[in-house]
Amino acid sequence: MTATGKATGTALVVDDSSVNRLVLVRRLETLGLDVLQAENGMEALAVLGGKAGVVDVVLLDVLMPELDGYETLAAMKADEATLHIPVLIVSGVEDQDSVVRCIELGATDYLTKPINPSILAARINASLAAKRLHDLEQESLARQTALNRTIERQKEELSRFLSPQIAALVSSPEGELLLAGHRREITVAFCDLRGFTAFAEQADPETLFDVLAEYHRMMGEAITEHGGTLEHFAGDGVMIFFNDPILQDDHVERAVRMAVAMRARFAELSEAWRHHGYELGFGVGIAVGYATLGRIGFEGRHDYGAIGNVTILASRLSSQAKGGQILLSPRAQMMIEELVESESVGELTLKGLTRPVLASNVVALR
């Protein structure tokens, strides 16, 4: 209804009598409707075939040549495009069997001629309200479907660098609780390249981009395989943590195995780069400790991150690692010592830490 109390929408009048059509058209136009016309069922279906999304209500006669009202109604209700358009039967046939048959076929109501204008207006308004409610439900469903597709695309994007179960969790209601912030013991692995600054100063932008793309691809594959959570890429620096948002009893082992796999794969990449004159090394720092995790950022740009001394320690160990080294914090070494062959590198004085840290290098997995 408009502010003036008139209905809005489009009606299709189907009647083989031009006089009956004219009467209905005038009454419908008085109600505020736009009106289309058809002389029989065949013509009506043709009109609906091109304007099914425009027509809001159909007024249908029963007795017509070529295709009568029963057949037209049945055809409309069998077609998904016209299934939900309200159909008011307007007929001179007052037989009870005809009324029952039309209602069973899906008619909204059955009005007999001559039509009472007040009753017609009431039926039209009720039909239009039902049609608009259906349209709103369909729009809502379409929006929800689009949202679901967006969520699935986001999960796919997340899954490029996170394990699929982590991507699913972060996109779930349970994940929302984690995003709000929590404290947990995690293992942090920080990786970057040795000699990257000098390389970046000398290489052209296209070469730099290609090298980083290969490096990031290798890193992403290893992160996904070992169930790590990627916090960020920052040029050649990469930070990954384990045991959040999915709990992992073996989080230290996962981090070390990932780092060893990265080191082996990097060796293949660096050999190829060396043939082009690029001398790059790969270093990793791994630490275990408690951190606060959750949503970090600002409106329109958020990351899922970790804050705590453990992240600083892993970063500082990485900065001290020579090419090919995987440096472990004392606690990480203690928790993984039965699974790796390692060697002490002595006490390291790390920036931002008040006391030296006794670090060890992972030589190989046992």
pLDDT at 354: 87
Q: Contact at 8 Å (CB) between 47 and 36?
A: yes
pLDDT of residue 6: 67
> Whole-angstrom Cα distance, residue 139 to residue 147?
12
CA distances, 86 to each of 2, 8, 12, 20, 50 (Å)? 20, 15, 11, 20, 17
Please identify, in words, the CATH class of the domain defined by 175-365. Answer: alpha beta
At 234, the pLDDT band (50, 70, 90 cuts) reads confident
> Average pLDDT of the chain?
88
Check whether 68 has a pLDDT greater than 60.
Answer: yes
- Residues 259, 56: Cα–Cα separation, whole Å: 64
pLDDT for 330 equals: 96
Using a 10 angstrom Cβ sphere, with 0-12 exposed, 13-18 middle and 19 or more buried, the burial of residue 218 is: middle
| pLDDT score of 355 more than 70 | yes
- What's the Cα-to-Cα distance from 47 to each of 42, 57, 148, rounded to whole Å? 9, 13, 34
Tell me, what's the pLDDT at 232?
A: 77
- Give yes or no for residue 206 having a pLDDT over 60: yes
**Predicted confidence (pLDDT) at residue 140 exceeds the cutoff of 80:** yes
Q: Would you list the DSSP string of 50-100? A: HHTTT--EEEE-SS-SSS-HHHHHHHHHTSTTTTTS-EEEEES---HHHHH
* Average confidence (pLDDT) over 53-65: 92
What does the pLDDT read at residue 309?
A: 94
Helix axes of 117-159 and 18-31: crossing angle, nearest 10 degrees: 70
Per-residue pLDDT band for 154 (boundaries 50, 70, 90) equals: low
The helix (H) or strand (E) run that includes residue 241 is strand 237-242
Q: Where are the alpha helices (DSSP H) in the chain?
A: 18-31, 41-51, 69-77, 96-105, 117-159, 164-170, 173-179, 196-202, 205-225, 251-274, 309-320, 330-336
On the question of pLDDT at 159 being above 80, the answer is no
Q: Where are the domains of the chain?
A: 10-140, 175-365
Q: Is the pLDDT of residue 32 over 70?
A: yes
Q: Is the pLDDT of residue 12 over 70?
A: yes
71: pLDDT strictly greater than 90: yes
The tokens for 341 are: 């062959």
Single pTM value for the model: 0.58
Query: Per-residue pLDDT for 158 more than 70?
Result: no
Cross-strand bridge partners of residue 292: 183, 307
Q: What is the Cα gyration radius of the chain?
A: 36
Confidence band (pLDDT; 50, 70, 90) for 34? very high
The pLDDT of residue 273: 84
Range 321-329 average pLDDT: 96
Q: Which of 58, 31, 37 is nearest to 131 (CA)?
A: 58
CATH number of 10-140: 3.40.50.2300
Residue type at position 69: G
Which range, of 7-21, 105-119, 164-178, 351-365, averages the lowest pLDDT?
Answer: 164-178
pLDDT the model gives residue 274: 84
| 120 Cβ contact partners less than 8 Å away, ≥ 6 residues apart | 27, 111
Mean pLDDT along residues 94-110? 94
* Residue that has been written with the tokens 């705590």 in this structure: 308
Q: Would you place residue 294 in the very low, low, confident or very high pLDDT band (cuts 50, 70, 90)?
A: confident
pLDDT-based confidence at residue 156 (cuts at 50, 70, 90): low
77: closest CA among 35, 108, 112?
108
Q: Closest Cα to residue 328, out of 289, 360, 363?
A: 360
